[in-house]
Amino acid sequence: MPHSHHAKIVATLGPASADRATITALVRAGANVFRLNFSHGTHADHRQRFELIRAIEAELGRPIGILLDLQGPKLRIGSFAQGPVQLLDGAAFRLDLDAARPGDATRASMPHPQIFAALKPGAELLLDDGKLKLEVQSCGADHADTRVVNGGLLSDRKGVNVPGVVLPLSALTEKDRADLDFGLSLGVDWVALSFVQRAADITEVKQIVQGRAGIVAKLEKPAAIDSLEAILAETDAVMVARGDLGVEMPAEQVPAIQKRIVRACRRLGKPVIVATQMLESMIAAPVPTRAEASDVATAIYDGADAVMLSAESASGRFPVESVAMMARIIAQTEADPHYRDALDASHTPPSANTADAIGHAAHAVAGLLDVAAMVAYTSSGASALRMARERPRARILGMTPNPATARRLALVWGVHPVLCQDVTNVSEMTEVAIQTAVTQQFAASGQTIVIAAGMPFGASGSTNLLRIAQVG
């Protein structure tokens, strides 16, 4: 049986979910895509998890997406000579490039010349996930003299964030390049790029990937929000990485930014994942807080394609329960009569092109005839994406002869991907679509399905055909 929910679940794998039995249970509980977080674990760890997913996929007969999440640049201060230091509000504190000299209560190393190159007096530096704030008083190519705005205890190797400044850094480190090459050799379906600041960051990784995987832009920097439209034009999908975004921007602005990103992605028909701290308390507890349940529901009401679990499924005590809880929240939200009102109210008109016209027409026909299922017969996935953009009531069967396309569609709202044979004509296509709708329990005898496809068959991006068929 396919999962009943339209919105998808991305579950991160880790020490708590590395064995075959647990991964199988996660799929059965509702996970559609698995995230391999390359900030942790070895290549051997990730290879083993990748192979387990593919084995489970073959066993269950259900395409499963695999997302490689690259670590990206990690900006950190150096170490301290005698353990953590207390920085007092208003005190002077110097940062420099001298990594060989341990820090103290007056200075620390920050071995990132790119940060110093971008700093100006008045710029802010956030340390340890924003717990401490420094304001730059003066700076040069190898140092910055700062004033402590918000003090606190500072220990070795804490992270540095520089809000409001575009850093002259590639989003790809040497580690990322090696990880990307390894992941592509395995055959991952999606690559999530961290530290995106500008559209050129996406272009850089696309030139390496060469279409072998879809690109997910992780939006976690204010600069990325400033360049949102340009980034969306370049990327295949988006992740709202609220953790880092909430460090560099005021927390009260993050909900509105999340809604803005989801709306923009829905308008363009590009998958959007809402991530970070969704069911955070389930790392240690078998149930979430009511606020967390509401947070997940909000993303579903907005029409996000997917919601993501991080530590909850990777290292928490209740990985399977976390996925099951998320699936129940999604199902309950989608069953609310006001859910459809919210989706329809936030819908935007399609673009004036053939693919969007077919998707829009399929949605209209489905509404008029109360169809049992919508079928997108697709080589590249484009037909299914255009259908999903409309957020129809009926479930979408994403039928494709291409395994890579089927796995990528596992991320897309409302799409149940199915591998099928190649077809050569409309009659054969219709017959295969009807058979699949019945065997997948999407339609029964006497019901109607709507089929969108492209002719000639097998050509990517050629959606130009709409067919209405009766199930015999």
**CA atoms in the 13 A half-sphere facing the CB of 177:** 7
CA distance 160 to 129: 7
CA distance 242 to 239: 9
Element housing 110 (H / E): none
3-state helix, strand and coil shares in percent for the chain, rounded to the nearest 5:
40, 25, 35
Q: Which residues contact 304 (CB under 8 A, 6 or more apart)?
A: 7, 262, 272, 273, 274, 413
Cβ atoms of 231 and 219 closer than 8 Å: yes
Q: Which of 403, 133, 288 is nearest to 297 (CA)?
A: 288
Element housing 176 (H / E): helix 174-186
3-class SS of residue 211: coil
Q: Which residue has 């051997």 as its token pair?
A: 44
- State the catalytic residues: 35, 76, 218, 276
Cβ atoms of 338 and 305 closer than 8 Å: no
Query: Edge to edge, what strands does the sheet with 415-419 contain?
Result: 415-419, 395-400, 373-377, 448-454, 463-470
Provide the b/e sequence for 292-319 (b: ≥16 CB within 10 Å).
bbebbbbbbbbbbbbbbbbbbbbbbebb
Q: Which of 239, 365, 250, 252 is nearest to 310 (CA)?
A: 239
Whether the bond into 456 is cis, omega within 30 of 0: yes
Q: Is 148 left (phi over 0), alpha (psi -120 to 50) or beta?
A: beta
Task: Look up residue 470 and give its two tokens.
Answer: 């009766």
Instruction: Calculate ∠ Cα 358-9-388, nearest 5°.
Output: 5
Task: Look up residue 461 and give its two tokens.
Answer: 């991006």
Instruction: Report the sign of the C-alpha dihedral through residues 443, 444, 445, 448, in that order.
Output: negative
